[in-house]
């Protein structure tokens, strides 16, 4: 077997058509269909180096089936000025899986846009139509039409090997999820299943639009707006509308220093205050939220309040599930 792999390599992507753009990457990279052309959960076209490919397919349980919600959880419809959006069709609990899909395309973030364009040209016809139907920020931002869609609709920071987070993944459905600086959902990439997963970050009501953050939600307003310039819109969420007040809230967010607080009750009060502040601001997406909720588990155990410890354990688990997926479901 090539590269000493436990599985034979997936078949190559579509045959090059005469009109396809020329690929510029060298022989150290593969353009391949993952996980196999006949996988029942669908496939994605991936451009990756041989070392990453080896690390990918040698993961325990690779390839895993794509997770599915027990009951339909979303539908796509108009989101007004935001275009098309995803909406909850029923009440969703924090951590609950909304949808999962194999991406249409996975490419290195550092690859030239010419290579993105060439990869798009080699997608199967249905996948090509799905990608080209996604939003295009327009020629004002430069680049080629297909590459612009990759740039503006992809999930960034994707890791295919469990290490380097240097890939982009474009999903036909994930590309429809709109932005908010106070998101109620997050996208996680499960490399073993080769799937993008959208999960609720907090409880979401039926009919509510599901939104993720395209930028660093904990950054000041000026930085968030600069990061969002790529997408050619101005966020009007309540956090952005509050201007300096929203920045003041973010400036106060930190994991409490409990080292010099001797009273367990005082430690709990400090953590609860931070948790409530983050929830009021809609910033459960920040790591400080998960840390504070986890701290409450141990603090309530020390007080002997095991009911509250169990309550915050459940919230910690739901937060971790939303942020990182169900890492243990197949181990």
Asked if residue 193 belongs to a domain, the reply is no
Residues 160, 258: one domain? no
Residues 147, 263: one domain? no
| pLDDT recorded at residue 259 | 83
287-303 and 264-281 helices, crossing angle to 10°: 150
Q: State which residues form the domain around 275.
A: 252-331
Instruction: Specify whether the backbone of 160 is left (phi greater than 0), alpha (psi in -120 to 50) or beta.
Output: alpha
- Cβ contacts of residue 143 below 8 Å, gap of 6+? 113, 151
Q: How many CB atoms lie within 10 A of CB 103?
A: 30
Q: Which of 177, 212, 244 is the last residue of a domain?
A: 177
Asked if residue 292 belongs to a domain, the reply is yes
127 and 146 Cβ atoms separated by less than 8 Å: no
Asked if residue 238 belongs to a domain, the reply is no
Residues 27, 163: one domain? yes
Residue where the block lists tokens 């990182």 = 324
147 and 117 Cβ atoms separated by less than 8 Å: yes
Sign of the C-alpha dihedral computed for residues 242, 248, 254 and 258 taken in this order: negative
Asked if residue 182 belongs to a domain, the reply is no
Q: Which of 142, 177, 212 is the last residue of a domain?
A: 177
Token duo for residue 183 = 């998101």
| pLDDT recorded at residue 243 | 86
Tell how far CA 175 is from the center of its chain. 11
Read off the pTM. 0.88
Asked if residue 84 belongs to a domain, the reply is no
Asked if residue 223 belongs to a domain, the reply is no
| pLDDT recorded at residue 167 | 94
37 and 11 Cβ atoms separated by less than 8 Å: yes
Residues 137, 266: one domain? no
Token duo for residue 314 = 């459940």
Q: Which of 177, 200, 234 is the last residue of a domain?
A: 177
Residues 170, 261: one domain? no
Query: Mean pLDDT, 10 residues at a time, over the chain (331 residues)?
Result: 32 43 72 92 93 90 92 95 94 97 95 92 96 83 82 90 82 96 96 95 98 95 93 89 90 87 91 95 96 96 96 97 77 44
**Counted domains in the chain:** 2
Residues 62, 159: one domain? yes
């Amino acid at each position: 077997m090539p590269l000493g792999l436990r599985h034979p390599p997936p078949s190559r992507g579509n045959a090059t058509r005469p009109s396809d753009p020329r690929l510029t990457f060298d022989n150290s990279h593969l353009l391949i269909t993952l996980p196999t052309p006949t996988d029942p959960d669908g496939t994605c076209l991936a451009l990756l180096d041989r070392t990453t490919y080896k690390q990918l397919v040698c993961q325990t349980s690779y390839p895993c089936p794509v997770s599915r919600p027990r009951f339909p959880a979303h539908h796509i419809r108009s989101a007004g000025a935001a275009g098309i959006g995803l909406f909850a069709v029923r009440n969703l609990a924090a951590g609950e899986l909304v949808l999962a899909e194999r991406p249409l395309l996975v490419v290195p973030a550092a690859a030239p846009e010419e290579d993105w364009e060439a990869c798009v040209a080699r997608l199967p016809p249905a996948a090509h139509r799905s990608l080209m139907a996604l939003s295009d920020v327009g020629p004002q931002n430069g680049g080629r039409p297909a590459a612009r869609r990759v740039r503006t609709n992809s999930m960034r920071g994707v890791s295919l090997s469990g290490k380097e987070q240097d890939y982009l993944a474009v999903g036909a459905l994930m590309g429809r999820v709109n932005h908010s600086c106070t998101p109620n959902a997050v996208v996680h990439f499960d490399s073993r299943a080769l799937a993008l997963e959208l999960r609720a970050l907090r409880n979401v009501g039926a009919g509510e639009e599901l939104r993720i953050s395209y930028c660093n939600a904990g950054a000041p307003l000026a930085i968030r707006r600069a990061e969002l310039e790529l997408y050619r819109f101005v966020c009007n969420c309540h956090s952005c509308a509050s201007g300096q007040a929203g920045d003041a809230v973010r400036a106060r967010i930190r994991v409490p220093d409990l080292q010099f607080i001797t009273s367990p009750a005082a430690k709990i009060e400090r953590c609860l205050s931070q948790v409530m502040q983050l929830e009021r601001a809609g910033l459960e997406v920040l790591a400080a939220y998960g840390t504070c909720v986890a701290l409450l588990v141990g603090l309530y155990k020390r007080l002997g309040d095991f009911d509250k410890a169990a309550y915050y354990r459940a919230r910690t688990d739901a937060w971790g599930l939303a942020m990182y997926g169900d890492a243990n479901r197949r181990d």
